[in-house]
Structure 1
Amino acid sequence: DIKLKECATCDLARYCSDECQEDDRDRRQHETKCKERAAELRDEKLFMQPESSHRGDCPIICCLPHPLDLETSMMMNACCSKLICRGCSHASTEREVGENRQPTCPFCRHPTPKTQDEANVSFKKRVAANDPDALCVMGTEHFVKEDYVGALFEYWTKAAESGDALAHYELSCFHQNGKGVEKDEKKRLYHLVEAAIAGHPDARCN
């Protein structure tokens, strides 16, 4: 049996090979329909209710959606940059204390850094690995320092390329306000829609 391959953009056409797709006699006609269908699929994603928080779910014990207020209810470990709710983190710590075990990350079980320097080294590894959450944190640090050029956009752009909703939303705001970058309505709308599709609440309100 020949396994047909769907068009990468739409779900209207199927091909038996790349050569088949290239030789499609109606390719120009398909390109028009393809763009129309791609726009329809994008709208479907945009208006679909997200199943969870744009920050995902706690990956440890409770597996509940992360709340919007991350600062008071979540924590991020430098070793894996996973967002973990404080309840699951506390439960993991209590178990380790009860079993007289060395403190570790509740997610990856990496030993807890003993110094801030060790934590910084681990976190830089996550940034180098293009972890979207770590990249967002780095971008936010530059934002707090009001360093609106260079590294800030590099970090948030990389995070957005990985589908991070917060990075998309922040980039849309910058292209709207023109901070550190020229105002660009097309890019603003693109990042805003991507953030909304990913479930960012402020983007969905817009």
Structure 2
Amino acid sequence: GDCPICCLPFSIDPQKSTLMGCCSKMVCEGCSYANLMREVEHTCPFCRQPIRTTDEEEFQFQKRVAANDPIAMLEMGKQHHNEGDYESAFEYWAKAAALGDASAHYLLSL
């Protein structure tokens, strides 16, 4: 995919992009860094919501999953996969794929 701010393609390395919990947008490392340098208070570079603490961010993320956001479901599936819970990961990826997420389709094919 592409960064929604600078429209450059994401790096192959997933560590070089950030999922924003408030709006479920993936933002490249460069745009995240530029936003941190520009802002006195930390806000999301896409929707400008204040960046929350870890507990608030997790609650917001769960809220996005409950709202059937395909990107949030894809990320939740990745978390479950990394923890070794492959059945839950498959379920989240299947839901994300049904909602039209191409990355989830790819992960289901592996």
Query: 2: CA distance between counterparts of 1:155 and 1:106?
Result: 27
Query: Deviation at 1:157?
Result: 0.7
Q: Which residue of 2 aligns with 1:59?
A: 4
**Distance apart, 1:154 and its partner CA:** 2.0
Matched, 1:108 2:47: yes
Mark the runs of 5 or more structure 2 residues left unpaired by the alignment.
none
Give the 5 Å matches for 1:35-46: none
TM-score, normalised via structure 1 length: 0.50
Higher relative contact order (CA 8 A, sep 6+): 2
1:136 is matched with which residue? 74
Q: 2:37 maps to which residue?
A: 94
Is 1:80–2:31 an aligned residue pair? no
Specify the SS of the correspondent of 1:79: coil
The letter of the residue matching 2:43 is T
Provide the TM-score with structure 2 as the length reference: 0.89
Shift of 1:83: 0.6
Q: What percentage of residue pairs aligned between the two structures are identical?
A: 56
User: For residue 153 of structure 1, what is the aligned residue in structure 2?
Assistant: 90
Higher Rg of the two aligned structures: 1
Q: Distance in 1 between matches of 2:4 and 2:109?
A: 29
Which of 110, 126, 132 pairs up with 2:64? Answer: 126
User: Secondary structure of the equivalent of 1:106?
Assistant: coil
Pick aligned residue for 2:14 from 53, 61, 70:
70
- Measured in 2, the distance between the counterparts of 1:70 and 1:144 equals 14
Letter in 2 for 1:112: I
- Structure 1: any 5+ residue segments left out of the alignment? 1-55, 174-206
Q: Secondary structure, in 3 states, of the residue corresponding to 1:75?
A: strand
**1:170 CA displacement:** 1.9
Letter in 1 for 2:27: I
The Cα RMSD (Å) is 1.4
The whole-number CA distance in structure 2 between the counterparts of 1:147 and 1:86 is 29
**Count, aligned residues:** 110
Q: Helix, strand or coil for the counterpart of 2:86?
A: coil
